[in-house]
């Protein structure tokens, strides 16, 4: 009897797995996302669909779509934001370190990735505080996000910075409004960075992604930024 019961459990698990796979495939096809980006949500009969950092929920039959954040009341956690953070980190994990312009802190406590625009006033202000950021243990990795778009003046400045022999010096000069005048190097990551920014959810600059996946939209004074980073990491 015990053997028969065990076999029934195994068979039921196999059927459930097959059904889940079919549901995920159908939802992926219907909503034009990858099967890997469809997964069961904590709500019975409801699936989570991810596109970049955009997350929605759908009924198993695909008839109903829910937009909004899913909150774990007992745990007091925003489950949707947790998934967004994971999605941001997954996207950034695919970026080669050589694609970034980095200012590492010697006593590193936090790492932030900043989508920046050479001509953005608050991007320049943040960069002018680099020494203080590093002194507080905050390492900074830059990716380009020229808000004016492809072919704009800011876009061309980003390309010039990338093609410079010393990119860290070049981005510092550019953010001071000084010319870089580097030759065209034939290949730059500006378009790649820009597309990544759109996937991550950048809507303005600077946009800061913390090492826990939190998105901070806009400039914060160094002391306040350090406080936010400390509090965020302590809460993880």
Catalytic residues: 117, 120, 123, 147
The kind and range of the H/E element at 39 are strand 38-40
d(CA 145, CA 169): 19
- Pure H helices in 32-165: 79-93, 121-128, 130-135, 153-163
- Residue 89 per-residue DSSP state: H
Cβ atoms within 10 Å of 75's Cβ, excluding its own? 8
Neighbours of 93 (CB within 10 A): 7
- The CA-atom distances, in angstroms, between 15 and each of 11, 38, 40, 134 are 6, 19, 16, 55
Within 8 A by CB and 6+ apart from 58, the residues are: 27, 31, 46, 47, 49, 64, 65, 66
d(CA 83, CA 194) in angstroms, rounded, equals 22
Nearest one of 139, 219, 233 to 175, comparing CA atoms: 219
């Amino acid at each position: 009897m015990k053997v028969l019961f065990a076999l029934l459990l195994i068979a039921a698990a196999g059927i459930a797995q097959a059904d889940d796979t079919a549901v995920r495939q159908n939802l992926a096809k219907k909503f034009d996302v990858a099967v890997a980006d469809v997964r069961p949500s904590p709500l019975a009969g409801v699936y989570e669909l991810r596109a970049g950092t955009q997350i929605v929920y759908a009924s198993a039959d695909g008839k109903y779509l829910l937009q909004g954040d899913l909150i774990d009341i007992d745990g007091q956690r925003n489950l949707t934001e947790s998934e967004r953070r994971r999605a941001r980190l997954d996207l950034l994990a695919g970026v080669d370190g050589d694609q970034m312009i980095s200012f590492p802190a010697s006593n590193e406590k936090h790492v932030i990735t900043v989508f920046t625009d050479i001509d953005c006033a608050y991007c320049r202000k943040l960069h002018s505080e680099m020494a203080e950021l590093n002194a507080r243990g905050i390492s900074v990795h830059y990716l380009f996000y020229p808000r004016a778009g492809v072919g704009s003046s800011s876009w061309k400045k980003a390309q010039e910075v990338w093609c410079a022999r010393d990119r860290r010096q070049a981005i510092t000069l550019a953010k001071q409004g000084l010319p870089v005048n580097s030759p065209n190097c034939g290949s730059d990551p500006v378009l790649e960075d820009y597309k990544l920014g759109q996937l991550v959810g950048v809507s303005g600059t600077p946009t800061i992604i913390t090492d826990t996946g939190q998105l901070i939209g806009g400039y914060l004074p160094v002391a306040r930024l350090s406080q936010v980073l400390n509090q965020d990491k302590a809460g993880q």
